[in-house]
Structure 1
Amino acid sequence: MTDKPLSGARVAVLVESQYIPSELRIYQERFAQYGATVDLVSRLWGNDSLRFYSTVEPDDSGSAQPIEWVEVGLDVDEVDPTGYDAVIAMANYTTVRLRYVDPPPPGTLPAAAVRSAPAVRFFQRAMADPRVVKAAPCHALWLLTPSPELLAGRRVICHPVVLADVLNAGATYVPPPPGTPEGEQVVVDGDLVTSSSWHATERLVDAVRDGILAARERPVPQFVPPVSRERTGKVLMVVSEWGYWGEELVGPLRELDAAGIAVDFVTPTGKRPNAIPVSMDADFFDPPLQRKITSEQMARWAREMDDPFTEQGARLDYPINLADWFPERPYHAAPQFVRLMEVYHRDLARAAERVAEYDAILLVGGAGAIVDLGNNQRVHDLVLAFHRVDKPIAAVCYGGISLAFARDMNERRSILAGKHVTGHCVEYDYKDGTVFVEGRNKPLDFNMGPAPYTMEFLMRDATAPGGAFHGNFGRPTSVIVDYPFITGRSIQDSALTGQKLIEVLREGLRRWGW
């Protein structure tokens, strides 16, 4: 046994040239006193190791201090920040150097290029895990300002030269009380520790220590629901064969699994659905939102779901074939049209009987839904079958297009008329880059570019008169419940859509979100 509070803890310190030697020594010595191991990490530019020089500052007598050197053998691109209890970016101009990127070529997104610096990506991954304590003294918040969503609403303090960037990122600046010594100017906001200068390093280390100890006391979240849990209820999930967005399937599915609700999958022609490749990439940069939109954990879950050789992925093998289940409505110009329509309605009634085994339906989003779900007559008939028996109908993002088009052919009016819904709003629309897949991780030579129609305008028209479309742009989430419909705006609303569907099923929720 040891009486050192941080025994076994690991701390990663990001360093570059122009580091402050006194600051580095405090990290190494003070954490060692607490029982923690300190690793130095930097960008090594393809080398096994690199030496970095210190900044030159006058000592108490006014004489310049000699240059010091430190050798680093851990590359920031090859280190997993979630394997550490804390990560610290050093003060001074080390972070300016660490976030260097080559100028982006013409036609690319500058913001995406700035976010691609290895140290920036390292801190992004660390920020995604609340169990890792992050510390950013002095100028170090410059590693976070390229990712403003990570700073939005966070309480911080920093060197005045960084303040404009920090405020533009949406952080809340906490000024030190009047008369507070520079060595005491530290702000703690959950798992993020900041200071105004390197002079507060000892105080910062102690705040990191406290954060590590607090994280150790928190229980590790249990993400995987017990497989032996008794299942009550059943939901049918409709998935595109042209590419679903990983989180828009995994998010609600995990909620339903955790609630003990069984799930069946159906695709238009019975083929195994495939995730859009970028939806499984935690580094994918979303042009409309100007940020990354998939967490490391969610990317792993999506890849697991897309892989038929995993337990989760095998669930997507052999989905129900909608073409075998529901009949195709004949052309009006077909020979014997009247007889064919009689057969169609007879087979339609038989197909609708099978809806009785389900408690609700959920349409998964993703760009592929535009191709084979949105204007798919069989999908419309499936949705109408649930609607006629007053069962909940949920949809995430582009999955909701089918609701706008689903309508009784006698009335030609959408089932959304008079209802309140949300969905992929105009501000989220792409200008280019909508690529589909035909097999597992196999690109199809088809880039549709922007969506051929604007979902928001369709939904606005479909809900009239008396209803409304709520894009809720600028709000973190947007889910609307207007029974029987539960609609989620986009990726970040996926799990919440599942949660609200469960509340509709279990608690009788009828209205929520507007």
Structure 2
Amino acid sequence: MSKILFVYTSVTKTLTGSESGWYLPEAAHPYYILAPLYDIDFAAPLGPNPPVDPASVELFKDEESQKFLADETVKQKLASAKKLSDVDAADYAAIFYVGGHGPVIDLATDPVNVKLANAFWRSNKIVSAVCHGPAALVGVTDAPDPVTGAQGASIFKDRAATCLTYTEETQLQKTDAIPFQPEHKLRELGAKFENAGPFEAKVVVDGRLITGQNPASGKPLGEALLKALKQ
């Protein structure tokens, strides 16, 4: 059975001091699409027990989110989450970055994460992320030119992608909570940025790169990832 790696932030607070962590529905909804068919491992920069954003627990009371919190298998996976430095991309068919403000703070600039994500991308594996999760990919590039050794282009250059929009971040009143705005960064890196209206579901598939806009996009992203894995 092919394996999928879910990557979570280890951040507990934003730059403004508000509580943070990974965003509940963005993990729960794709998990229950994929878990019946694939082995899923969890990982985070600091390893075990990556923190859930308490606001997401309060906001999302849907069946799958509540099931995820109570699921003994999920609890075990979180408690034994791997450190990113202990992960080998060769063991997996795909990587998925769960959102929450945290990835913009830790994963975006974590050299271990950048190396790992590059290993997935450059070995033709599926790379996916939702909401703030695409921030974890801003350091990922195509392989260097084999002849000249020139640096490869950003994973986002001339590829269609999405993430939480600046409009959505503004409505959340969280623009000061993170070091950069994911939408602005993706555009800066050359992405063909696509989005739906605020907090409407949107998933963009460009080859092996699969991105989702916001919490509503978790389930359809899981479905897109499932389809890509079956191809």
- Normalised TM-score (structure 1): 0.40
1:390 paired with 2:128, answer no
Superposed, 1:47-66 pairs within 5 Å as none
Q: Identical aligned pairs, as a percentage?
A: 25
What CA deviation, in whole Å up to 9, does each residue of 1:305-343 have, x standing for no partner? 6xxxx3431221121112345xxxxxxxxxxxxxxxxxx
Following the alignment from structure 1 to structure 2, what is the Cα–Cα distance between the partners of residues 488 and 432?
Answer: 18
1:479 paired with 2:219, answer no
Residue type matched to 1:249 in 2?
A
Secondary structure of the structure 2 residue equivalent to 1:263 = strand
| Aligned with residue 281 of structure 1, among 51, 58, 77 | 58
Secondary structure of the structure 1 residue equivalent to 2:95 = strand
CA contact (8 A) 1:279 1:299 kept: no
1:255 paired with 2:33, answer yes
Give 1:386 deviation, angstroms.
1.1
Superposed, 1:103-114 pairs within 5 Å as none
Residue type matched to 2:167 in 1?
E
| Aligned with residue 498 of structure 1, among 222, 225, 229 | 222
1:303 paired with 2:81, answer no
Following the alignment from structure 1 to structure 2, what is the Cα–Cα distance between the partners of residues 281 and 474?
Answer: 20
Superposed, 1:45-444 pairs within 5 Å as 232-242=1-11, 243-258=21-36, 260-282=37-59, 294-304=60-70, 310-325=72-87, 354-407=88-141, 410-411=150-151, 413-430=153-170
What CA deviation, in whole Å up to 9, does each residue of 1:101-153 have, x standing for no partner? xxxxxxxxxxxxxxxxxxxxxxxxxxxxxxxxxxxxxxxxxxxxxxxxxxxxx
CA contact (8 A) 2:131 2:215 kept: yes
Following the alignment from structure 1 to structure 2, what is the Cα–Cα distance between the partners of residues 398 and 281?
Answer: 19
Q: Give the structure 2 partner of residue 71 of structure 1.
A: none
What CA deviation, in whole Å up to 9, does each residue of 1:194-252 have, x standing for no partner? xxxxxxxxxxxxxxxxxxxxxxxxxxxxxxxxxxxxxx321011111121000111111
Give 1:357 deviation, angstroms.
2.0
Two-structure CA RMSD over aligned residues (Å):
2.2
- Normalised TM-score (structure 2): 0.85
Distance 1:239 1:474, change over 3 A: closer
Q: Give the structure 2 partner of residue 455 of structure 1.
A: 182
Give 1:303 deviation, angstroms.
3.1
Distance 1:460 1:279, change over 3 A: same
Structure 1 outlier segments of 4+, above 6 Å: none
Secondary structure of the structure 1 residue equivalent to 2:35 = helix
Residue type matched to 1:234 in 2?
K
Give 1:431 deviation, angstroms.
6.8
Following the alignment from structure 2 to structure 1, what is the Cα–Cα distance between the partners of residues 6 and 73?
Answer: 18
* Higher RCO (CA < 8 A, seq sep 6+): 2
Give 1:405 deviation, angstroms.
2.2
Distance 1:504 1:324, change over 3 A: closer
Question: Which protein shows a greater Rg?
Answer: 1
Secondary structure of the structure 2 residue equivalent to 1:453 = coil
CA contact (8 A) 2:33 2:223 kept: yes
Following the alignment from structure 1 to structure 2, what is the Cα–Cα distance between the partners of residues 318 and 381?
Answer: 22
Following the alignment from structure 2 to structure 1, what is the Cα–Cα distance between the partners of residues 64 and 80?
Answer: 24
Residue type matched to 1:457 in 2?
H
Residue type matched to 2:67 in 1?
W
Give 1:460 deviation, angstroms.
0.9
Number of corresponding residues: 216
Distance 1:295 1:254, change over 3 A: same
